[in-house]
Amino acid sequence: MPDPTEAFFARLVERGHEPALQRTTGSARIDIDRDGKVAHWRLDIRCGKVEVTQSGDAADCVIGAPAKLFDDLASGKANAMAAALRNELTMEGDPGFLVRFQRLFPAPTGRKMPTSARTVGKRRG
Amino acid sequence: MAGQTVRILDGNTFVVCDERGDIESLPSEPTGLFSFDTRFLSTWVLTINGQKLNPLSIDDLQYFESRFFLVPGTGTVYIDAKLSVIRQRAVGHGFHEELTILNHEDQPVDLVVRIDAASDFADLFEIKDKLKKLGSYEVSVEDGSLRLAYGRDTFRRETRISASAPAAIDKKGLTFKIRLEPHERWTTDLEVVTALAGPGGSYVRPKYSRGRKEARPNMERSLDRWIADAPTLQSDWEPFRMIYRRSLVDLAALRFSPPVAGGKSLPAAGLPWFMTMFGRDSIFTSLQALPFTPELAATTLRVLGDWQGSRRDDFRDEDPGRILHEMRYGEMAAFEERPHTPYYGSVDATPLYVILLDEYERWTGDRKLVRELEYEARAALNWIDEYADLMGNGYISYKRRNEQSGLENQAWKDSWNSIAYSDGRLPDFPRATCELQGYAYDAKIRGARLARLVWKDPAYAETLERQAADLKRRFNRDFWIPDREYFALALDADGSQVDALASNIGHLLWSGIVDASKAKAVVGHLMGPRMFSGWGIRTMAAGEGRYNPIGYHLGTVWPFDNSFIAWGLRRYGFKEEAARVASGILDAAVVFDGRLPEAFGGYERTVTKYPVRYPTACSPQAWSTGAPLLLLRTMLGLEPTGDHLVVDPVLPESIGHVELLDIPGRWGRMDAFGRGRVQVEDWRRKEGRTGRRA
């Protein structure tokens, strides 16, 4: 059985076109660190048409993530924007790409709503 | 912090300090240097020979810059002004401070100049809710600078402080031992740099440095350019130009570029709590500013489109197609102790998004952007029927799925007690407030226009128009309270009417959902003594169970609210009433030196001579800043029609002659002229009478 990361990119290949990336043209590389070995996934996007290769060539935007984190993102167990704010997910180049790209991650599954004593509060008034 | 606070800002970086320029933050107060929702300096205190200084005066040079004139103090009335000290500070990616000391004596002096510096790296949420931090601190002196750092797992925030003059740097600050000859001056540049990431992350240099003080709202354009590109206002009424300029400058100041938005900038909501991206506030502000700075709308549409919801996430109250409510960058958002990455708990931002897209095209003719955003606009329209109809009765309603830290009230009146029955009871959830149905109606009508004109999908246009007509028919039946002749504030969980009289009915006029036969009665309420205070229309009518003239949404006057109601009054042909509302709000703006606060008291104008500031109102606040702009558009009756701009001025007499020159749009640039003819109550005479009685 492929890991969630491979399954995620396989789904991108299968779909070929992502309406959420309609306004995106450019390249992005995702470097996934699995026990010190870095795997590259390179996306070439033309108005939402996505081509996936495993090339390490330079790209407009480079995203770095440990394998565990990316597996969690690809299976709806983690949130990409929160991970980026924690610097767990790193980013070089056009940061707008990550905002659009993270829309492709699935809805939360097998994840309880985060709770902590520090989550109580309200806004305004 | 006791006494006056001084605030300067640049995008979402801002400094709140005391009259000396010092920062001595308490854990529970939003004073200090803030950037991206994190406090980067909580201590910044200047002493000379161990003594704090006395403030003589403060110059608010520009929105991002202030200058403090100080003298050494003895703690008594007598001030020994043998030395003067000038601190000139400019905020922008951290801040730059120019410290100058002048010796007025005929004798040399030896001075120990000390800056104490520290940071607690508090998240704004932690300050608001008085919470303890969970990470650890590290302070070091490296490469001639003081480095303050905070870390929690991979999360890093850092402040780096350096000076141009030789300094002894320790872990608590910088010391300068100087000797000043008679009449000599000494000066140094202090740089405070903030970073979101630690080693390997980036430090961005402060935007401003010595001698480089031309305001730059963003990297491309100076403030002068920003103002020059906006239309020019001329008026017989002297304060109008001041108010107009203040609005343009504050709008520039409130622009910021979210770090994950590719350098584009859009308006943040307001200082000090809301210097971030809010869907609703950014959209309303962009609508207000459309005739003046249309590119603001383009950026708002693109950025909010990028962030559009794509999945069901209960923690974030996210749905596919939903437009975000609020984005936060602090530690609590990063660790999912708050849902703001981003949080989607807003039910009005999504229909408003479609409304802004259409209004933007009507002004600019920029069909390319409408084509680019087709996917997002359709997803937003789909959200209205697919995800927002929680009660299955054909109306938008809200009930948070995140019971812990989500918002209870997800429309613009978001305080806990803002939606109430006449007798003061609060309804259960879900709640379907009336203005939401108006926005949904308008979004469908406008979506249909775009579908036909740009997306070339007439079938979709017909579907939307059919849905809109059906919604209007049902709404005028289900929300109308026949014996009181106004629309209910909301429908409750049983579908019964929540019957308080509130300003929300004014937004219905703006949306066009009100049957023409009912408009006169609605306007009668809005302009009647229970709602119109003389300064503006109250959020809730006097006499309602929960009415309170200084209740956040229970009777205060909100300039933004009034600007949209005035637009609605125009839409239904009540031009003189619109001019009266505009006149009241602009009179209030004069009292606030051109900078309208978020809200002010709903007291009768004849009773309080001045509008009473709401105690904790944010200022400047984007949609209050935009209110005079929309009122100006409304009074001049500016309306794009085809490729032309129609001008139909109806102005209060007191304003006299008005010219708005070089209005940008699909017509290129056009001028509008008007002369005030509407008689407005002579408040001075009325106030005078009250005065004599008292």
Q: Is there a contact between A104 and B414 if contact means CB atoms under 8 Å apart?
A: no
CA of B369 vs chain A CAs: smallest distance (Å): 10
Q: What is the pLDDT of residue B102?
A: 95
Residues forming a β-bridge with B327: none
Q: What is the pLDDT of residue A124?
A: 41
Burial of B606 (0-12, 13-18, 19+ CB in 10 A): middle
**Residue of A20, A96, A124 with shortest CB distance to B310:** A20
What confidence tens digit (pLDDT) does each residue in B372-381 have? 999 999 999 9
Q: What is the pLDDT of residue B444?
A: 98
Q: Report which of B436, B409, B413 is spatially closest to residue B508, judged by C-alpha positions.
A: B436
Q: Is there a contact between A103 and B553 if contact means CB atoms under 8 Å apart?
A: no
Closest CA in chain B for residue A80: B341
Q: What is the pLDDT of residue B26?
A: 85
CA dist A99 and A24 (Å) reads 11
Rounded (5°) CA angle B560-B506-B497: 125
Closest CA in chain B for residue A83: B334
Q: What is the pLDDT of residue B219?
A: 44
C-alpha pair distances (Å), B80 with each of B75, B84, B91, B107, B202: 10, 10, 31, 15, 45
To test the contact with chain A by mutation, choose from B260, B331, B416 the residue with the greatest count of A C-beta atoms within 10 A, namely: B260
What confidence tens digit (pLDDT) does each residue in B139-198 have? 999 989 999 999 999 999 999 999 999 999 999 999 999 999 999 999 999 999 998 764
Closest CA in chain B for residue A90: B201
Q: What is the mean predicted confidence (pLDDT) over B301-320?
A: 95
Q: Report which of B78, B80, B87 is spatially closest to residue B104, judged by C-alpha positions.
A: B80
What are the backbone angles phi and psi of residue B674, rounded to the nearest 5°? -160, 155
To test the contact with chain A by mutation, choose from B125, B131, B306, B415 the residue with the greatest count of A C-beta atoms within 10 A, namely: B306
When pLDDT is cut at 50, 70 and 90, the band that residue B457 belongs to is: very high
Q: What is the mean predicted confidence (pLDDT) over B301-313?
A: 94
Q: What is the pLDDT of residue B80?
A: 63
CA of A42 vs chain B CAs: smallest distance (Å): 20
Q: What is the pLDDT of residue B220?
A: 45
**Residue of A23, A99, A119 with shortest CB distance to B261:** A99
Q: What does pTM read for this prediction?
A: 0.92
Q: Is there a contact between B341 and A81 if contact means CB atoms under 8 Å apart?
A: yes
**SS3 letters for B136-154?**
EEEEEEECCEEEEEEEECC
What confidence tens digit (pLDDT) does each residue in B530-558 have? 999 999 999 999 999 999 999 999 999 99
Q: How many CB pairs under 8 A join A and B?
A: 117
When pLDDT is cut at 50, 70 and 90, the band that residue B203 belongs to is: low
What confidence tens digit (pLDDT) does each residue in B19-65 have? 999 999 988 888 999 998 899 999 999 999 999 999 988 887 778 88
What confidence tens digit (pLDDT) does each residue in B489-515 have? 999 999 999 999 999 999 999 999 999
Residues of B in contact with A17 (CB under 8 A): none
Size of chain B, expressed as the number of residues it contains: 694
Residue B110 has pLDDT above 50, yes or no: yes
C-alpha pair distances (Å), B69 with each of B86, B102, B211: 5, 11, 18
Residue B201 has pLDDT above 60, yes or no: no
Q: Is there a contact between B154 and A88 if contact means CB atoms under 8 Å apart?
A: yes
The answer to whether B510 and B348 are in contact (CB under 8 A) is: no
Closest CA in chain B for residue A88: B154
Q: Is there a contact between B260 and A95 if contact means CB atoms under 8 Å apart?
A: yes
Residues of B in contact with A124 (CB under 8 A): 273, 414-415, 552
Burial of B238 (0-12, 13-18, 19+ CB in 10 A): exposed
Residue B692 has pLDDT above 80, yes or no: no
**Residue of B260, B374, B404 with shortest CB distance to A96:** B260
Residue A122 has pLDDT above 60, yes or no: no
Q: What is the pLDDT of residue B207?
A: 67
CA dist B218 and B196 (Å) reads 19
CA dist A4 and A1 (Å) reads 9
The answer to whether B661 and B671 are in contact (CB under 8 A) is: yes
Q: Is there a contact between B416 and A122 if contact means CB atoms under 8 Å apart?
A: yes
Q: What is the pLDDT of residue B195?
A: 86
CA dist B150 and B136 (Å) reads 6
